[in-house]
Each structure stands twice: as structure tokens, then as C-alpha cells.
Structure 1
Amino acid sequence: MKKEYIIYKLSESIKSTAKIDNELFTLFGVKRGLRNEDGTGVLVGLTKIGNVVGYERIPGGGLQPIPGKLFYRGLDVEDIAHAVMQERRFGFEEVAYLLLSGGLPDKEELASFRELINENMPLEQKVKMNILDLEGNNIMNILARSVLEMYTYDANPDDTSRDNLMRQSIELISKFPTIIAYAYNILRHATFGLSLHIRHPKEELSIAENFLYMLKKEYTDLEARTLDLLLIIHAEHGGGNNSTFTVRVTSSTGTDTYSSIAAGIGSLKGPLHGGANIQVVDMFNHLKEHIHDWTNVKEIDTYLNRILNKEAYNKTGLIYGIGHAVYTISDPRAILLKEMARELAKEKGREEEFNFLELLEERSIECFNKFKGAGGKKVCSNVDFYSGFVYEMIGLPQEIYTPLFAMSRIVGWSAHRIEELNFEGKRIIRPAYKNVLEVQEYIPISERI
């Protein structure tokens, strides 16, 4: 029997073996996707790290939409970001210290932490050579393999003591920018035949500046500060987002840091989690071509309604960058990024495109709400609506959009792993699945037709 036929037959069997009647989920009270019927997440844990707020409960059990808030260790991210933006400084390292330690550093502590980050940013020669040898055009995959490779060169890879966990976290936070920058430069050389540049990080630069230097050498101050803001707002988003929950689930088994973080990278790589900003960029480019007057509300609304009715663009009925699992009235990350996007668009001479994107945001929300009707969930733009456009203006290639997400979120992953392994009464995370298949009788192979 040919191998191709066996694969085909096994594949065809999935049609029946993977089918479960929808009514059974209701019958057994299963929270599909760990979601309650009102769309909120099932409460599965407690944390002191991040908090995502998009609604409040009202008497009677209903949900009241409220302006979105994101808190890092109890501090409003908007307050952190605005302080950094007003002082025209780099704040990602400060946020990393806050999320790892639970408190803000003073000037001396922050200076020492920055120095520690910069000391750990260069790659060991063996790791560097390994990246040069890795084949493939997906940098998230190369990042995951590089993280797993770091296990080999760690003298105490399986040690889960507090000191060792913190050391590993700092090394990962420090090395992610270098791995990603090197991986892309190798990709552009191998795939596009361009010159290969491997630049060593500089001790006096911030993480955002060093990344841009290693990636493309030349950058403006506004580009670096905008990237720094992107890193700040993506650093943490509560314990329930898929990649962070993946890190907590794997950490609860007691596995090593590198295996757990590689699992988180695998989760973030999925298009339903980390790749949405690329879809927004693709949709925006499509709309720029198919909407002739970028200021005409009627023309914009007509085309957006065609998208919602699955008649235009990719015919999925989705307007990418609109809607969020938690945020309802507003996504605070989108608001912050929009401020920097406006400023960056002026520097790059792309104000007309920014104004069009801003109008698309307004009209998309309005059209979506009308399309869903009065009983539909209230939606807002999410951070992905502007992030892809911002990456593009900075001059970053699409191949690193999702890796940049990981470069930031490694901070939140590390903080949650440390918390998971250090609270009293910790237990392996082990939810249940209800088996809905009846018991079968085993048939001897001689009697099978």
C-alpha cells in the first residue's frame, strides 16, 4: 500500500474522529477556549504582575464597557509611557525592572540594571555561529531554536531557584534583540543576496537603539523612541493571553526556562495571536488601492460594509485591528501608539496616510457596530491597528514584526514564570476534558475487514 494513500486515509479519518457536536459543549458546561458565555475569560489563576481592564461587572451579573486600562504591577501604563515620552528618554528597561521586581527602580538601580542588560546582550561565539548555520525563513522559528540552544551553554539550565531564574530572565531579555537582528540580517543575505552585516551591540545604547543599530545601523531619535514605546506597551498583558498562559502551564511542570520560553514563542507565532499586525498592514495597503478618495466617508463606509459582508478584500468578513477579547471602548496601547504614529508620520512625510488610517479607524468601528446591531459587543481599535504602520515607517521588515512582539513580551513571560514557580501551594496546571465517545470493543486483527 502506497505511503501517500495511508496519509490520505489517515487524513480522511479526521473528518469523523475530530467532530464533536456543538450541543455537547453546552450539555456538559464546557467553557470553550476557556471563555465564559459573556466572552470573558474563565478565572484560572491569580497574579500580581499585570491587569487588563475593559469592562466592569454591574449588579445582576452584566458587563458595563469602560475605557480600557492596562496596569503593570498596579501602575497605569499610560502614566509610565507619558512620563517617558515627555522626558524624551527610553523606558523599556525601567518597565523590565518593574515587571521582574515588582517595584520601580531609583536612578542608581536603573543605571546598574541597564549596565547588566548591555553586558549580557552580546551572544556567545557558539550561539552566534549556531544562528549563522540555522536555515529557514521564519525568524520566530529561528528564535525558538536559538533559545533551546542556550540550554546547552547554561551551566545550571534546570535550576529553578530564585537567583537562577532571575539570571536566566535577564540573559534572555538581553539576548532576544541580538538574536532577532542577527537572524534577519542572515535571512536577507541568504534569501535576497544582500550584504551580511553583523554589528555588535554598543554599551551606551538602550535596547531599542541597539536593536535598530544592529538591524539597520542608521536610525532617527524619534524612530528609536517610538520603538521603545512599542516595547513598553507589548511587555505584558496579563496571565491569560495565550503565550503567557503557555509559559505558566509549562512552568508549572517544573521544566527548564528555555523549554518554557520556547513554548511561549511557539504560541505567539500563531496568526491568531502574534501575527495580526501583518494582516492589518496588508488590509491597509489593499484599502489604499481600492478607495480612491481617502477623505470620502461614504466611499469608505461602502467598502468597509462590503468587507463585513464578505464581498471584498479576503472575504473573511473581518476588519483587522478592530475588536479585542477584553477591551471594549478603547485599547490604551492603541491610544499611546497613535500619539507616536502621528508624530512619526510628520517626520516621514506620510501624514496623508496617517489621516486615512485614523479615518478608517473611526469608520470601521461605526460600520462594525451598525453591522452587529444594538445587541452586539462594543468594539474599539486594538494595538495592531497602528503597530504595523509604525513598524513600516521605522523601516522594519515584516519578517520581524512578530519577533519584535516576542522581544518585548519576553519580559512578561519571565515575570510570570518566576511568579508561577514561587508562590506557595503551587500545583501543576491540569484542567479536564470530558470524553464523549462510547467504550469500544477491541477486534482482533484477523477479524478486521
Structure 2
Amino acid sequence: MIEQNTLYTSTDPFNELTHLAQENNLINPELFTKYAVKRGLRDLDGRGVLVGLTEIGEVHSYIVDENEIIPVPGRLLYRGIDIADITKGYLTDHRYGFEETTYLLLFGKLPNPRQLENFNKILSEKRKLPDDFVRDMILKAPTKDIMNSMARSVLALYSYDEDNPDDTSLSNVLKQCIHLISCFPSLAVYGYQAYAHYHQNQSLYIHTPRPELSTAENILYMLRPNRKYTELEALLLDLALILHAEHGGGNNSSFTTHLVTSSGTDTYSTIAAALGSLKGPRHGGANLKVVKMFEDMREKIKDWQDEDEICTYLTKLLNKEAFDKAGLIYGIGHAVYSISDPRAVILKEYAGKLAAAKGVEDEFEFYTRIERLAPQVISKARKMYKGVSANVDFYSGFVYTLLDLPLEMYTPIFAIARIAGWSAHRIEEIVNAGKIIRPAYKSVAQRKEYIPLSMRQ
């Protein structure tokens, strides 16, 4: 018999079990302060706890002067090169840059024309999925969540690996990673097409990727029923892929990649774990929240130019009186950046161009107005240890809306980009042959005596 205070009359046994799980897993929050636990592996001022070294990505958001943290405009560097310079370089040449960026992340330097041509050829050859894979692994078990579909497909590819899938030698891992980078667009798009057909009763379209197209072009080509897209649309999607490809070793999914790799497991299990991390609404799923929040704003805010009305709605968001009542303004604020997120700055510029091309400048101006007002509202309502600004999710959701991408594809697009960074981090962990990652947890449970079953109350 259980104790009287947990006795339930409900016929659902999970009501009782849920209560027990809640009651006996709650830790006094004061203990985290008492034992100086860095919750989220972050200090109170927002700095991450140093747990490793990397040469792949650098997130720069502050300087330290006489032990004082001074926020600066955010910078993001891939292999030491500023992301602003990378994007400017290929956009100036009017070409697609995700493949070049992937090469940079994997191999530590920008490719010359011959190296880039050879790398693009390898990527094109690896885009094709195994025979009957789409039918047997994707179409026969459609799921409502494309990220779960991708994770399952990645694990299934383990069985199709004709070499030793458990071989963690550098050459084999590199081969596996490049194959996954190449076929991720197909896994995502086909997963969506299966969902749209079997769960939304839409027509089924399975377009084979074309070898001469870039990653961004192939996504739009395979996703759209008529396979048509404009050059501006493809260039902007390519830009979004580049901006999402890497964000240092400390972001949740890249840290997951290091963590799981350190155990010695195979590439497919590692990438599936990273997908599970990215799926979360606190990580890659955040842009969905931004889009849905703006849908609610359009309904509730009558005059998009009335700043008082906008601020009133934003205040209601913070007070848990609007939208999902979570007390958050989605797309505003970041764990690292304070003054600005460089990805949002770059994406905003080109999002404005796409908005102009599609005749929705008023909606773009609405976004920019929210971006300006939200930090002011937050600073009045909350005690902040650092500034807040729009993050990349704020504008990526807007861009994907302009590209007519289905909501279910938003986070998978993130995954298509970020697998470049995950692969680089997996390789870095293997090359440096580190120890298995095992941080410490302190037990604060009271000691108890074992009670025989017949004597328990």
C-alpha cells in the first residue's frame, strides 16, 4: 500500500505514477546554489563553463576588461574566418556557398577551384539513397515528425553500410559523414512527402535530386510539386544553410556530437543523437515558435504601425497572458549573444530583398518593428544580466515562410545545414582521441534503510 498522501481513486494508473515521479524527483532549487552547480553549464552572467577546445567554430559576443565583461556586437567565425566575410565572398561572386562552407568546416581551409569541383562531384555522387530505401524505410512508416523520420532513416542507413559501419577510423568516418551530408536533403524531403501524403491526404511527389544542382536548389526542386524556384529563393535558402551550419562546440547538438562520439560509438548513432537534440523547441525547433507567435500577433494586433499596441501585446507575452502563455518573446534573446546575433543581421538584409520581391514589405517592416521594441519591453519588465537582441530564429522563420516551406520542414532544414558542423566536430573528437566525456553529478538524496516488501506502508 502506498502512503495516504499519494493515494488516488482514478482508474488511470499513470495518474498515481506521474505524481510519484514528480514528488520523488524534485530537487530543492536552493541546493543548486549551495553546491555552486552551473545549471545548463552556464554562469549567472551567461558565459558557458569551459569543457573543451575546438578549432571549428567561434562565437564571439563580449570582451573582458579588468575582469569586467563588456558585450560587443556578435561575431561568428568558421575556422577563424568571419561568417560575414564568407557570405559576402560567395554572394559577390553570385554563386552558392553551402558546399564550400562544408568543405571549410570539415578540412579547415577554403577550397581552391579544383578542390571545390572535386568535392561537389563527391557530394553529387553520394546524394542517392540505397535502392528501395525510400519505399521500405520512409514511405512504409510515415511519421508526423520529420526529425524523427530523419533519425530513424539515419539509424537504418547503418544496416545499408557495405563497409564496417562500426569502423571509427578517420577515413571511414569521413566517408560516412560526407554520405550523410549529401543525402540529408533527401531524407528530410521524402520524410515530409510521406507525411503530407499519408497524414494530410496530399499527392505524393518523389523527385530524384539532380547532380548538377546545389544543396539549396535540390531542396526546393524535390520539395515543390512543379520543381520550380527562382534564383533569389535558392540563394536565400543557401544563405540560411550557411548561417546554420555551425555554432561552436557548446551548442546543445554539437556538444551532443562530442559527447556521444567520445563513447566510441558509430557515426549513425552519433548523428541520430544530434538530431534528437536539435529537434527540441529550446534548440532547433525555436523558429517554429517564432512563426506561430507572429500568426497570433497578426490576429491580435490591429494596427501593425501602432507601437503602443505592439508593446501592450509584448507585455502580455511576458506576463503569460498571450499566445502560449510561456512568458517568452520567441526569437528575442540568445544564450551567448547580447548586442546582436551576426546570423540575424545577415539574414535580415537578404530577407528584406526577398520580401520586396514578393511584395510583402509591410510584413517585413512589422518584423523589424518587433525586433526594435521587444528588447525595450523586456528591459522594463525583467531583471537582465545581459542585453537581448533578435536571434537567427527571428528571421529564419520569416524567410522560410516567404519561401513557402511547410512548417514541418523548418527544423529539418536546420538539420540539413548543421550536419556539416556535427561532422566536423565528430572528426575533431576522433582525431584528438579524448577521454569519454563524463561530468560529475552530486547526489543530494538522503540515506535510507531497505524495507522488506511485507513491511512497506
TM-score when normalising by structure 1: 0.96
State the secondary structure of the residue aligned to 1:441.
coil
* Shift of residue 303, structure 1, vs aligned partner: 2.2
Aligned partner of 1:390 among 384, 399, 403: 399
Seen in structure 2, the aligned counterparts of structure 1 residues 227 and 58 have a Cα distance that, compared at 3 Å, is same
> Unaligned regions of 5+ residues in structure 2, if any?
2-8
Is the CA contact 1:91–1:232 (under 8 Å) kept in the aligned structure 2?
Answer: yes
Does the aligned pair in 2 maintain the 1:369–1:376 contact within 8 Å? no
Kindly report which structure 2 residues correspond to 1:336-351, keeping only aligned pairs within 5 A, or say none: 336-351=346-361
1:254 Cα deviation (Å)?
0.3
What is the CA–CA distance in structure 1 between the aligned matches of 2:186 and 2:53, rounded to whole Å?
Answer: 33
Q: How does 1:247-326 map to 2 (within 5 A)?
A: 247-326=257-336
Q: Secondary structure at the match of 2:431?
A: coil
Deviation string for 1:347-383 (max 9, x for gaps)?
111111001111111111222223236x642111000
Which of 207, 216, 219 is the matching residue for 1:199? 207
- Residue 211 of structure 1 is matched in structure 2 by 219
CA distance in structure 1 between the partners assigned to 2:167 and 2:385 by the alignment = 49
Q: 1:427 matched to which residue of 2?
A: 435
What is the total number of aligned residue pairs between the two structures? Answer: 446
Q: How many angstroms does 1:127 deviate by?
A: 2.0
What SS does structure 2 have at the residue aligned with 1:53?
Answer: strand
Which residue number corresponds to residue 402 of structure 1? 411
Aligned mate of 2:101, from 70, 89, 95: 95
Q: Is the 8 A contact 2:45 2:385 kept in 1?
A: no
Provide the secondary structure at the position in 2 that maps to 1:421.
helix
Give the corresponding residue for 1:179.
187
Conservation of the 8 A alpha-carbon contact between 2:305 and 2:366: yes
Q: Is residue 243 of structure 1 aligned with residue 253 of structure 2?
A: yes
Q: Residues 299-348 of structure 1, C-alpha deviation per residue, up to 9 Å, x if partnerless?
A: 22222222222333332221110000000100000011101100100111
Give the whole-Å Cα distance in 2 for the aligned partners of 1:100 and 1:301: 44
Distance 1:196 1:127 in 2: 16
| 1:367 lines up with 2:347 in the alignment | no
Instruction: Please name the residue that 1:32 is paired with.
Output: 39
User: Matches of 1:315 and 1:64 in 2, distance apart?
Assistant: 33
Number of the residue aligned with 1:356: 366
| CA distance in 2 between partners of 1:280 and 1:289 (Å) | 15
1:69 aligns with 2:75: yes
Q: What one-letter code is carried by the residue in structure 1 that aligns with 2:419?
A: I
1:394-449 alpha-carbon deviations (Å, 9 max, x no partner) = 1100001001111100010010011111115x100001111111221111122223
Letter in 2 for 1:245: F
Is contact 2:57–2:77 with CA below 8 Å preserved after alignment? Answer: yes
SS, match of residue 59 in structure 2: strand
Aligned partner of 2:444 among 431, 436, 443 = 436
CA drift of 1:28 comes to 1.5
Note the C-alpha offset of 1:92: 0.1
2:333 and 2:390 in contact (8 A); partners too: yes
The farther-off stretch of 289-298 and 207-216 is 289-298
Cα distance in 1 for partners of 2:385, 2:15 equals: 42
SS of the residue 1:301 aligns to? helix
Equivalents in 2 of 1:200, 1:385: separation in Å? Answer: 32
2:128 partner amino acid: P
Given that 2:142 and 2:194 are in contact with CA atoms closer than 8 Å, whether structure 1 keeps it comes out as: no
Q: Deviations over 1:223-280 (max 9, x none)?
A: 1000000000000001111111111101000000000110000111111111111111
Q: Distance in 2 between matches of 1:310 and 1:137?
A: 29
Q: Which residue of 2 aligns with 1:151?
A: 158
The secondary structure found in structure 1 opposite 2:60 is strand
- How far off its partner does 1:6 sit? 4.1
Q: Compute the displacement of 1:5 (Å).
A: 5.0
Q: Which amino acid aligns with 1:400?
A: M
The answer on whether the counterparts of 2:45 and 2:386 sit within 8 Å (CA) in structure 1 is no
> Letter of the aligned partner of 1:229 in structure 2?
L
| Structure 1 residue 289 displacement after superposition | 1.9
CA contact (8 A) 1:70 1:76 kept: yes
1:103-130 deviations in Å (ceiling 9; x for gaps): 1000010011011101111111132221
Tell me whether 127-136 or 339-348 shows the greater mean CA deviation. 127-136
Supply the AA of the counterpart residue of 1:348.
K
Letter in 2 for 1:379: V
Q: Which residue of 1 aligns with 2:5?
A: none
Note the C-alpha offset of 1:41: 0.9
Amino acid at match of 1:196: L
Q: Which runs of 5 or more structure 1 residues have no equivalent in the other structure?
A: none
Instruction: Please tell me the residue identity of whatever aligns with 1:85.
Output: L
Taking only aligned residues, the RMSD between alpha carbons, in angstroms, comes to 1.6
Q: Is the contact made by 1:246 and 1:263 (CA closer than 8 Å) also made in structure 2?
A: yes
